[in-house]
Amino acid sequence: MKNRTMLYGGLALLLVCLIISASCSSGLDPAWKNGEAAVLSISFARVSPPVQEEERAIVRGDAYLYLCTRTSIADIINFYGPYSVSDGTLFETEDIPAGTYKEVALLYSSSNIENFKTIMEDALPSRYDIDSYDSLFAEIFYEHFGTGSSDVSANVITDVTIAARKVTPLKTTLIPIVGEEAWITIPGLPLDIASPASGTVSRQFYGLVGLFSASTLTITDTTTLDITDKFLSLYDETGKQIPLQQSGRVWSTTEPVDGTMFFLYAETPREMTLTFSY
């Protein structure tokens, strides 16, 4: 519960900054489009190195995007998706009507959550008496999708205006939703990643806690058999990517890291054991 509380605190702090960004249409002048349609645009940068400006703590490869909106008038909540997306692509949709929204929630997952709308609708009715849903959306995400390691990243943006006949770019850093049992205290026990189903690749986020400020983190693959097509990526608690340098079975940060909570994304076709030192 302590880790989840820390995550909610970090998410709430990030949302304060995102309010300013969203209210200014993310600091970009919308481009004109033909017709009256409102277009919502989200850029999903490629996860692979080098680190890019449009940072997203998301799984690599094909994925699904889900959107939830809450209107500023009448508190109408709608759900959109799933949309087929992937890292390194630009997503655009005309499904969301022009208007001002109190909250826009985004959920990005490598798996298709077939009952997503039902889960959200069942969780919301008893909580309609609150003024803001930003923390509520986050709470529901953690309750239903934050069990153990996760392939899900999400965030909630408040006060979003989507204009007609324009492209509204939406900028936000997505934060992995990781259950308490998938948080690793380091230095300490190694992280054992289970072997995925035959013919598939495990694409999961894990949480790391216990790092001291201004420390260089080293991650070592101690698996008996060498895995040639593995991939690791590191993010801070706000979803900002931290550059890693790989040498064989060892990854290390290129500069001292500052913080106590981090997310590790690990991609592997077979079981893998990682140890941590700093």
The number of folded domains in the chain is: 2
How many other CB atoms are there within 10 angstroms of residue 169's CB atom? 19
For residue 64, give every residue at least 6 positions away whose Cβ sits within 8 Å of its Cβ, in sequence order, or none: 81, 82, 83, 84, 85, 108, 109, 110, 111, 112, 113
- Dig out the tokens for 250 from the structure: 């060892």
Residues 213 and 150 in one domain: no
Which of 143, 176, 209 is the last residue before a domain boundary?
A: 176
Residues 224 and 268 in one domain: yes
Residues 170 and 186 in one domain: no
Per-residue pLDDT at 10 exceeds 70: no
Residue 239 belongs to what domain range?
180-277
Residues 187 and 71 in one domain: no
How many other CB atoms are there within 10 angstroms of residue 208's CB atom? 24
DSSP SS3 for 165: coil
Q: Where would I find the H helices in 91-225?
A: 116-123, 134-145
**Predicted confidence band of residue 221 (pLDDT cuts 50, 70, 90):** very high
Average pLDDT value for the chain = 79
Q: Virtual CA dihedral for 41, 113, 110, 222, nearest 10 degrees?
A: 150
Residues 77 and 209 in one domain: no
Residues 229 and 145 in one domain: no
pTM equals 0.80
**Residue 15 included in any domain:** no
Mean pLDDT of 216-232: 86
Least confident of 3-7, 16-20, 30-34, 57-61: 16-20
The CATH number given to whatever domain includes residue 252 is 2.60.120
Q: What is the pLDDT of residues 69-120, one digit of tens each?
A: 988 777 788 999 999 999 888 999 999 999 999 889 999 999 998 889 988 8
Question: DSSP state, 130?
Answer: S
Q: How far apart are CA 88 and CA 32, in angstroms?
A: 23
Question: DSSP state, 74?
Answer: T
Residues 199 and 257 in one domain: yes
Per-residue pLDDT at 257 exceeds 90: no
**Residue 64 included in any domain:** yes
Residues 33 and 139 in one domain: yes
Which of 122, 156, 176 is the last residue before a domain boundary?
A: 176
Residues 116 and 219 in one domain: no
Q: What is the pLDDT of residues 226-245, one digit of tens each?
A: 777 889 999 998 888 899 99
In whole angstroms, how large is the CA radius of gyration of the chain? 19
- Dig out the tokens for 176 from the structure: 């992995």
- Yes or no: say if 106 and 65 are a contact pair by the CB < 8 Å rule: yes
Q: What is the pLDDT of residues 110-159, one digit of tens each?
A: 999 888 998 888 887 655 555 555 567 777 887 887 777 889 999 988 89
Least confident of 7-21, 130-144, 172-186, 223-237: 7-21
Q: Where would I find the H helices in the chain?
A: 2-23, 116-123, 134-145
Q: What is the pLDDT of residues 27-71, one digit of tens each?
A: 323 333 445 689 999 988 666 555 444 467 999 999 999 999 988
Residue 19's pLDDT is: 31
Of residues 43, 15, 5, 3, the one with CA closest to residue 175: 15
